[in-house]
């Protein structure tokens, strides 16, 4: 029902991106003691929108603006950092910060989605 509304598409993409960030963080933490493991990360959702080209606004009729397009999927890249003597680059402190950021991104996506539903309910008279 809400698939055609851009607000819901963006908030769903944001929630999915936060889930990918959290999964990557969990993988890094799980391999914190694996010799030679290189920590991976993905950029934030705002960076993804900026690099992928945010949905462009186009005018479909006078006085009406709508955005078109969807976001791409972020690619993981080496997180960098100083390697331990065993070659591992996982920093548990950095991973905890990444986990907190992913949680904030997830909460923001959920708030946007809930607000959109509230607006639709208000417009529908419920």
Helix axis angle, 6-30 to 92-124, nearest 10°: 160
Residue 48 pLDDT greater than 80, yes or no = no
Candidates 113, 102, 78, 112; CA nearest to 19 is 102
Q: How far apart are CA 95 and CA 118, in angstroms?
A: 34
In this prediction, residue 9 has a pLDDT band, given cuts at 50, 70 and 90, of confident
The average pLDDT across 7-15 equals: 88
Question: For all residues of the chain together, what is the average pLDDT?
Answer: 81
Instruction: Give this prediction's pTM.
Output: 0.72
Neighbour-count burial of 116, counting CB atoms closer than 10 A to its CB (0-12 exposed, 13-18 middle, 19+ buried): middle
What is the per-residue pLDDT across 50-100, written as a single tens digit (0 to 9) for each?
766 545 555 566 655 444 444 456 788 788 888 889 999 999 999 999 999
The average pLDDT across 40-52 equals: 78
Instruction: Copy the structure tokens of residue 86.
Output: 């065993």
Helices (H), 1-126: 6-30, 45-52, 92-124
The average pLDDT across 36-57 equals: 74
Of 40-49, 51-60, 90-99, 109-118, the least confident: 51-60
Integer-rounded Cα radius of gyration of the chain: 19
Better-predicted residue by pLDDT, 118 or 44: 118
């Amino acid at each position: 029902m809400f698939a055609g509304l851009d607000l819901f598409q963006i908030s769903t993409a944001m929630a999915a991106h936060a889930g990918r960030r959290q999964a990557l963080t969990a993988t890094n933490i799980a391999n914190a003691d694996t010799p030679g493991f290189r920590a991976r990360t993905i950029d934030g959702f705002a960076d993804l929108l900026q690099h992928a080209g945010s949905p462009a606004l186009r005018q479909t009729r006078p006085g009406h603006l709508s955005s078109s397009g969807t976001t791409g999927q972020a690619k993981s890249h080496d997180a960098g950092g100083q390697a331990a003597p065993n070659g591992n680059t996982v920093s548990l402190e950095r991973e905890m910060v990444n986990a907190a950021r992913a949680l904030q991104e997830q909460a923001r996506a959920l708030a946007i989605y809930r607000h959109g539903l509230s607006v639709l309910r208000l417009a529908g008279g419920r």
